[in-house]
Amino acid sequence: MPVLPSVLMVFTGGTISMKIVPGRGAVPAQSGREILDQVPQLASLAQITCVDFDRLPGPHWSPERMLELARDLDARLVSETFVGAVVTHGTDTLEETAYLLDLVLRTDRPVVLTGAMRTADDPAWDGPGNLIASVRAVTAWRDRPPGVAVMMAGTLHAARSVVKSHTEALDAFSSGDLGSSARERIATDRIEARVELVEAYAGADAKFVRHAVATGARGIVIAALGRGNVPPAMLLGVREAVAAGVVVVVCSRCGRGHTAPRYGYEGGGVTLHDAGALFAGDLPAPKARIKLMVLLGAGSTAETIRSSFARSGA
């Protein structure tokens, strides 16, 4: 009888671990072992080593905790025993954790994040199917390039490209046309937490950008309009931030497409570029924030940061 591959399975919480408590709603309720006991099919696919790293809802994650998860995975995957790892995670911030792991993990073994859109006491609980598909993906990785992926609803997404695009559908995650899945690695043991995300909107002025600078931001990501444009009054804040030594990165509120300095009117992308702002290409704003936190934490030079975002397809 063939020996089954060994897979590290790290449980961190999320809807996959939750049950409905009357009067409170869905809350984390199950350990990793309790979840595994409900998916006996896994025993025929791999030898599973279960680790309870945490029991967090998605919104309780911080980038600092994501980095701790990365270092924990690196330490465990040093062992030749494991062919790779599956990590359960709350879906609200799953794409951000997946991308941070993709940037900073040292291991070349596959890591697949998954979760659930339904709680464990829901007849339509999708947790078991996602776990089975994730283990299959890890054990069949073979010639795929190293990196982190997300498995949801039977589809494997590259960490860089995946986004949660629906609030509750079972197939809530998509990759769309969000550019290359090529992995970029950034060597660091710390991140810069002082990176803010500010959204542009009709009539927006500079107050939130100025507040970010005044409260010590090292970086600011702008979720801009269209291809990367802001109202004229907001441009003033960007100019002031760059002059103060704060890195400003421009993304788009749109779900698809690239940012680029195309429009030359006041507040248009050309004027943002001339002010010293960088463009994130096709990276969504939350992921651009993660990337900037990692780059700043690594002590990257201004030119390194500029080059890194230029590779995002701006």
DSSP per-residue codes, 65-100: HHHHHHHHHHHHHTSTTEEEEEEE--TTSHHHHHHH
Return d(Cα 118, Cα 126) in angstroms, integer.
6
Q: Please indicate, yes or no, whether residues 270 and 156 belong to a single structural domain of this protein.
A: no
CATH number, residue 120: 3.40.50.1170
Tokens representing 221?
């990501």
As given in the structure block, the two tokens for residue 210 are 């100025």
Domain that holds residue 275: 195-310
Specify which residues 248 forms β-bridges with: 220
Q: Which residues 6+ apart lie within 8 Å of 64 measured at CB?
A: 191, 193
Are 158 and 237 members of one domain? no
Residue 43 sits in the same domain as residue 156? yes
- Determine the pLDDT at residue 1: 64
- How many structural domains comprise the chain? 2
Q: Which residues pair with 111 in a beta bridge?
A: 85, 148
The answer to whether position 180 is within a domain reads no
Give the integer Cα–Cα distance in Å for 279 and 269: 9
State how far Cα 309 lies from the chain centre. Answer: 16
In this structure, which amino acid lies at residue 170?
A: L
- The two three-digit tokens of residue 41, written as one number: 């099919």
At 260, list the tokens. 């680029």
In terms of domains, do 66 and 169 share one?
Answer: yes
Q: Is residue 60 part of a domain?
A: yes
Residue 148 in domain: yes
163/20 Cα distance (integer angstroms): 26
Of the residues 121, 142, 174, which one is the last residue of a structural domain?
Answer: 174
Distance between terminal CA atoms of the chain?
A: 52
Q: What is the pLDDT of residue 314?
A: 45
Burial class (CB in 10 A: 0-12, 13-18, 19+), 74: middle
pLDDT for 181: 55
Q: What is the pTM of this model?
A: 0.95
What would the pLDDT profile of 195-211 be if each residue is shown by its tens digit?
999 999 999 999 999 99
Q: Give, for 56, the enclosing helix (H) or strand (E).
A: strand 47-56
Residue 15 catalytic? yes
Q: What is the CATH number of the domain that holds 227?
A: 3.40.50.40
Residue from 15, 88, 259, 271 carrying the catalytic annotation: 15
Rounded Cα–Cα distance for residues 229 and 252 (Å): 8
CA angle (31, 34, 37) in 5-degree steps: 150
For the chain, the residue count is 314
One domain for residues 293 and 200: yes
Domain assignment of residue 295, yes or no: yes
Which parts of the chain sit beneath pLDDT 70? Answer: 1, 177-182, 312-314
Q: What's the farthest any 2 CA atoms get from each other in the chain? A: 70
d(CA 281, CA 295): 16
148 and 254: one domain? no
